[in-house]
Amino acid sequence: MKKVNSLYYLFLPFFAVYIIFIITPILRTLTFQSVANLIKASTSGILPSLEYTYLLALLVGLLSIGFSIPYVYFMSRSRHIVLKSLDSLVELPIMIPHTVVGIMMLITFEPTMPLGKLISRIYPGYQFLDTFLAVILSLFFLSSAYAIRAVQISYTRDVMKYENIGRTLGMTPITSYFIIGIPMMSKALLRGLILSWARSVSEVGSLLIVAFSILPSGIHLAGVLIYYQFLSAGLPTAVASSSILILTGLLALLFVKLLERDK
């Protein structure tokens, strides 16, 4: 006779409450407007905004993964206390209010600031405010930690020991890393990419400061556009655009989960 796991049933109500808490606002948003209104809302500018948002978020996710690979290797093999202390700075952007991040980016990279002036001398005509560069730097600052930590956990917990075994069998450090390490981290790399991508898609606060609209097209990224619609057109329009964002986001996440399952 199978033994009853009392802890399983003890935790079941907590699981159910959490799932209901997550699903209820999503279902409420998706059912707030009729299908006809959602189709009408698709002409309000949300589709081009989502296209820009998803592509820029993907670019930031790829940049985050690109930096996470050398970062994780270097940090995992460093023993100096100073370097270990610096590693904690990776998570600092997560706790900083996002409007503050926008201000930090502005006073760092604007052409009137010291670093901005230096960049202007190298690239005449350099602009920062309301540009793709402002978006990418702000999103990378906020979301790169998710990719780095996802890859770092996988590498230090599982991959590193197999890579070291490869080196004892005569592989060079480069060969063992790219032949053994990278393939074993494929799921972690994909997970880091989607976490960084999702975090970038959700960003609003810093973009209100550095890129309320992206020039010269004047397009707003999704979170900013929905906020603007809420202020100017009211709740129904903002909810309709939010529903479209949620639906497309669910499809993207489902696609990634299928890829992860295949791997």
Mean predicted lDDT score pLDDT of the chain? 87
Which pLDDT score is estimated for 262?
Answer: 60
The length of the chain is 263
Mean pLDDT over 151-168 rounds to 80
pTM: 0.87
Which pLDDT score is estimated for 254?
Answer: 83
Return phi, psi of residue 129, to 5°: -65, 135
Helix (H, G, I), strand (E, B) or coil at 36: helix
Report which of 140, 141, 135 is spatially closest to residue 211, judged by C-alpha positions.
135
Which two tokens mark 152? 């770092």
163/103: higher pLDDT: 103
252/204: higher pLDDT: 204
Mean pLDDT over 234-256 rounds to 87
Which two tokens mark 89? 């700075």
Which pLDDT score is estimated for 252?
Answer: 83
**Side chain identity at residue 76, one-letter code:** S
Would you kindly state where each structural domain of the chain is located, as residue ranges?
A: 48-219
CATH number of 48-219: 1.10.3720.10
Strand pairing partners for 219? 214
* 61 pLDDT tier (thresholds 50, 70, 90): very high
Fill in the DSSP letter of residue 89: G
Of 20-24, 43-47, 201-205, the range with the lowest mean pLDDT is 43-47
Which pLDDT score is estimated for 64?
Answer: 94
Which pLDDT score is estimated for 181?
Answer: 83
Report which of 156, 153, 157, 147 is spatially closest to residue 190, judged by C-alpha positions.
147
